[in-house]
Amino acid sequence: MDTILGQVLRNAVWERLDMLSDLAERADAPSLVSVARSELPRLTEAWKAILRSHEPDERGDCPTCSTRWRRCKAPCSVWQAAHEHLVAGGLAPHPPHQRDHRSAQHQPRPAVHPGRRALRAGVSTAGLHSG
């Protein structure tokens, strides 16, 4: 059951991110302003929460990415991705379709977008969407 719930949660997040990307590409200016005012604070807080859990410890290791047998020195891949997308990525615009979450930067994902698979299978994620 935890696996199913985890997949439903992941699907909901991917779908939300896809929806926001689509809005950014296609919405008119007033809609973009409205979405930015409601979603940017939420996305900012999400990034902050993720990054707090990856803050280096007193040894300079990421406590979240490290295991008992293998230490992960800071900056971990989460901090590197944050810098790339939030700081360095702002310097060089990316083509609009470079947002595929199944790229090599991420862990392997199923060939079919899991959110779309869940919707086809009749799994509702509507209760997980807020806003």
| pTM exceeds 0.85 for this model | no
Q: Say which residue the tokens 């689509």 belong to.
A: 22
What pLDDT does residue 43 have?
A: 95
Judged by DSSP in three states, 73 sits in strand
Q: Say which residue the tokens 């985890």 belong to.
A: 6
Q: Along the 131 residues of the chain, how does pLDDT read in single tens digits?
A: 789 999 999 999 999 999 999 999 999 999 999 999 999 999 999 999 999 999 999 999 999 999 999 999 999 999 999 999 999 876 655 555 444 544 434 444 443 444 443 443 444 334 334 44
Task: Please give the Cα distance from 129 to 4 (Å, whole number).
Answer: 17
What pLDDT does residue 95 have?
A: 55
Task: Please give the Cα distance from 36 to 24 (Å, whole number).
Answer: 9
